[in-house]
Amino acid sequence: MATIATSGTALSYTPSFELLNRWVIEKQLCCYCGTCAGVCPRITLDGKVPRLINYCSECGNCYKYCPQTYVPVKEFEEKLFPGTNKDESLGYYEKCILAQSTDKNILSIAQNGGLVTTLLIHALEAGLIDGAILAVAEKDWMPKPILARTPEEIKKAAGSKYVMCPNMFAYREVISDPTVKKVAIVGLPCQVRAARKLQMEPMIPVKNGKIEFIIGLFCHRNFSYEGLLLETIKKTLNIDLSNIKKFDISKGKLMVFTQEGKQVELPVKELSKYSWSSCSSCTDFTGRLADISVGNAGVIDLNWNLAIVRSKKAMELLDSAVKAGKLKIAEGGDAINAILKEAQKKAERREKVSEALYQHFSELGVPSEDVRVYFTLLTSGGASAVELSKALNIGETELGAILARLRERGWLVEYGDRYIPTRPSIVLRMETAKLQNLIKKVLEKEPELEGIYVRKFG
């Protein structure tokens, strides 16, 4: 039975569906990536959340591979992308370039420059992969995860569906089909994290868990099918869903293109109530663990892509597609600054901690600024002094004093230039022990105080 290490305490947790439910699903942090159902036949997806349909044997796989549980991002980055450029917000990368497919047919069906579809077909035709995990639109743009095995199936999945699609559910087919030896996975940054976990620590006894390439899509936020398609496009904009040719979210607008060539627009801020709950605390814009991350942000022409090439493997794939005349590429230019800004803004999102919790911690006799720094470290997964100072708008000297107090209290440790919060269960136990000691000391004074009372009042 696997347990989660809880360094220094007697606490231990058995990773199970119950734990996934309690710490991810019930907390509304599930990004509906499909991984848990992809790795376990006892889990089903009901369109909004995963559900256990059978007895849970507590193998821990659903918990381990969920992208909303611990992901050793820094460790993975160092192993995967050695010797590349490193940026705090964009992650590690070899190169940032603009790219466009030379295939007119692909350009006519793709979301932007068709880089994703072109790379996948090239990899398939070169025998580098046997298939690709993708999102295809079914009737009325209902998205469905598929394992595409032919160029035609890859083309059928082209185009962005700005709604949650549990792509990783299709990993079930990768596990069960022995004829599938190597696949590519296309996903949003949250799905990329799950794919990378499955590749770096495979659950199947096959090298890299059969995962050859991971292609990430830039993502600011995503929406529910009911909210975007049914409520907004069908009801508010009065567009029949079967009449949609394509839709896009760019420069603050939702744009719907109909089959008759009409274009309808709506400010994207009107969609915020339909945003998926996990997106509000998601900090990764580019998919920093992908081999290559693709989007259009910062590019003037919607028919081009901006790509962040991270791994040597992705660089080779791109080069060979260019050599084969399937792609045109150009320098990234100003587009990189635009995504950098977008990535920095998204990195500031945090999981919320309730005001009541701040209050309770402050009641332990800890200054409220110290509690705020501790919770910021907790929700950001650790930070440097510079990041903390920027996020909390606290000056260097004051922050230095707070960090020293927290270190002395045992609420954080230093790791290189970063501060890592101590596990809350340990913090709570340490504070409880301190309070118990204090109460013991006060109780020792009870006879002395009682004596005064008795002498004065009888």
Ligand X SMILES: Cc1cc2nc3c(=O)[nH]c(=O)nc-3n(C[C@H](O)[C@H](O)[C@H](O)COP(=O)(O)OP(=O)(O)OC[C@H]3O[C@@H](n4cnc5c(N)ncnc54)[C@H](O)[C@@H]3O)c2cc1C
Name the residues that contact ligand SF4, by CB under 6 A. 16-17, 20, 24-25, 30-36, 39-40, 42-43, 50, 52, 56-62, 66-68, 188-190, 219, 221-222, 276, 278-279, 282
Residue 85 is inside which H or E element, if any? Answer: strand 85-87
Nearer to ligand SF4, 60 or 131 (CB): 60
Shortest distance, CB of residue 305 to ligand X, whole angstroms?
A: 5
| CA–CA dist 227, 163 (Å, integer) | 9
56 binds, among ligand X, ligand SF4, none (CB under 5 to 8 A by kind): ligand SF4
Q: How far is the CB of 191 from ligand X (least distance, A)?
A: 6
Question: What are the counts of helices (DSSP H) followed by strands (DSSP E) for the chain?
Answer: 18, 18
Query: Letter for the amino acid at 242?
Result: S
Name the binder of 305 from ligand X, ligand SF4, none, CB < 5-8 A by kind.
ligand X
Indicate the residue among 119 and 412 with the shorter CB distance to ligand X: 119
The whole-angstrom distance between residue 440's C-alpha and the CA centroid of its chain comes to 46
Q: Which is nearer to ligand SF4, 285 or 361 (CB)?
A: 285
* Binding partner selected for residue 376 from ligand SF4, ligand X, none, CB under the kind-specific 5 to 8 Å limit: none
Nearer to ligand SF4, 39 or 90 (CB): 39
Whichever of 153 and 351 has its CB closer to ligand SF4, that residue is 351
Nearest CA-CA partner of 190 in 271, 254, 281: 281
Rank residues 188 and 371 by Cβ distance to ligand X and give the closer one. Answer: 188
Partner that binds at residue 32, options ligand SF4, ligand X, none, CB closer than 5 to 8 Å by kind: ligand SF4
Select 17 or 162, whichever has its Cβ closest to ligand X. 162
CA distance linking residue 84 with residue 116, whole number of Å: 22
Binding interface with ligand X (CB under 6 A): 110-117, 134-135, 143, 157-163, 165, 167, 186-188, 217-220, 222, 294-297, 305
Provide the sign of the torsion angle of the four alpha carbons 211, 217, 220, 225, taken in this order.
negative
Burial class (CB within 10 angstroms; exposed 0-12, middle 13-18, buried 19+) of 99: buried
Amino acid at 171: Y
Q: Which of ligand X, ligand SF4, none lies near 117, with the C-beta cut-off 5 to 8 A by kind?
A: ligand X
Q: What angle do CA 10, 12, 17 make, to 5 degrees?
A: 165
163, β-bridge pairs: 223
**Whether the Cβ atoms of residue 29 and residue 351 lie closer than 8 Å to each other:** yes
Q: Are 228 and 241 in contact (CB under 8 A)?
A: no
In whole angstroms, the minimum distance from the beta carbon of 220 to ligand X comes to: 4
DSSP 219: -
Give which of ligand X, ligand SF4, none residue 24 binds (C-beta under 5 to 8 Å, depending on kind): ligand SF4
Tell me the three state secondary structure of residue 258.
strand
Shortest Cβ distance from residue 43 to ligand X (Å)? 19
